[in-house]
Amino acid sequence: MTGGRTGVVLAAGFGSRLREEDPGRLKPLTEVAGRPLMLRTLDTLAAAGCDRAVIVVGFQGARVEAAIASAYDGPLALSFVENPHYDLANGVSVLAARPAVGDDPFVLTMADHVFSEAFARIAAATTPPDSGAALLVDRNIDAVFDLDDATKVRTDGDRIVAIGKALDAYDAIDTGMFVATAGLFDALEAVRRATGDASLSDGVARLCAEDRMRAVDVHGAFWQDVDTPQMLAHAEARLAAGAGG
């Protein structure tokens, strides 16, 4: 990828587990090693070749939008869209971004992940399959912090054949970053029409069934989901040890 893609950031959820010790904390604004998670995410998208970002807000969305709009001074052009149904699964937030994204490929991630520059460069070089999506995966399973909480992935070569937190047989972990086409929107819309809700994993599973999901190995590049205070502490320790490069 040479640049010009849109980044999509999901920032609509409650962030309940991270807020257990501090109910006033909002996950996208939580600082990791002195920089808010959302600003770190926007830095990653810029390094991944994006020139604009669509941020999907929901829970206390006005507060999140105001804080980010005033604090961000990077190269991305920002726009915000609201998901009023933020009590539903995260695939509904992805669908909320569709009108702002259009039909071009996009980079999708969440506002609660930390990625290294090396990770962003892999995303920049990733091209999704036609009408499908590529998921960046970590095959170094033993190094994953809080494996029980991770979303597992089973692959066949570079094909993703199954995804879910409860998979018994898996050989990779979902890192929370996708390079996708509008086919992901279509898959999520089909799931929501059928069930009334849609998680991102539901959409990925539908693409898997149609052989439209590919796995891209991050080859040890650092990433960390920040869902709990323990994950936050681990991310800060890894960054302090130099994992962000």
Q: Is 80 helix (H, G, I), strand (E, B) or coil?
A: strand
Residue 45 · residue 7 · CB < 8 Å: yes
pLDDT value at position 117? 96
The count of structural domains within the chain is 1
Q: Per the domain annotation, does 66 fall within a domain?
A: yes
For the stretch 76-101, pLDDT in tens is: 999 999 999 999 999 999 999 999 99
Measured distance between the N- and C-terminal CA atoms of the chain, rounded to whole angstroms: 20
Q: Taking 90 as the threshold, does the pLDDT of residue 24 lie above it?
A: no
Q: What would the mean pLDDT of 104-125 be, rounded to a whole number?
A: 96
Angle, CA 194 vertex, CA 188 and CA 200 arms, to 5°: 25
Residue 183, class by beta-carbon neighbours within 10 Å (0-12 exposed, 13-18 middle, 19+ buried)?
buried
- The bridge status of strand 5-11 relative to strand 106-110 is parallel
pLDDT for position 15: 72
How far apart (Å, rounded) are the C-alpha atoms in residues 155 and 177? 16
pLDDT (tens digit per residue) in 50-68: 999 999 999 999 999 999 9
143 inside domain? yes
**The pair of three-digit structure tokens given for residue 163, joined into one six-digit string:** 């995804």
Whether 122 maps to a domain, the answer reads: yes
How do residues 197-239 score in pLDDT, each as one tens digit? 999 999 999 999 999 999 999 999 999 999 998 999 999 999 9
Is residue 245 a part of any domain in this protein? no
Q: Based on the number of CB atoms within 10 Å of its own CB, is 219 exposed (0-12), middle (13-18) or buried (19 or more)?
A: exposed
Instruction: Please report the pLDDT score of residue 19 as a whole number.
Output: 61
User: Is residue 63 situated within a structural domain?
Assistant: yes
Q: Identify the pLDDT of residue 30.
A: 92
* Within-domain flag for 186: yes
- In this prediction, residues 27-34 reach a mean pLDDT of 93
DSSP for residue 129: P
CATH number of the CATH domain containing 12: 3.90.550.10
- What pTM value is reported for the model? 0.94
* Tens digits of residue pLDDT in 115-146: 999 999 999 999 999 999 999 999 999 999 99
* 232, two tokens: 């936050």
Residues linked to residue 36 through DSSP beta bridges, in sequence order: 31
Question: 150 lies in which domain range?
Answer: 5-240
In the structure, what pLDDT confidence band is assigned to residue 4 with cuts at 50, 70 and 90?
confident
| pLDDT of amino acid 110 | 95
Q: Count other C-beta atoms under 10 Å from residue 147's C-beta.
A: 11
Average pLDDT taken over every residue of the chain: 94
List pLDDT tens digits, range 215-225: 999 999 999 99
Residue 45 has pLDDT above 50, yes or no: yes
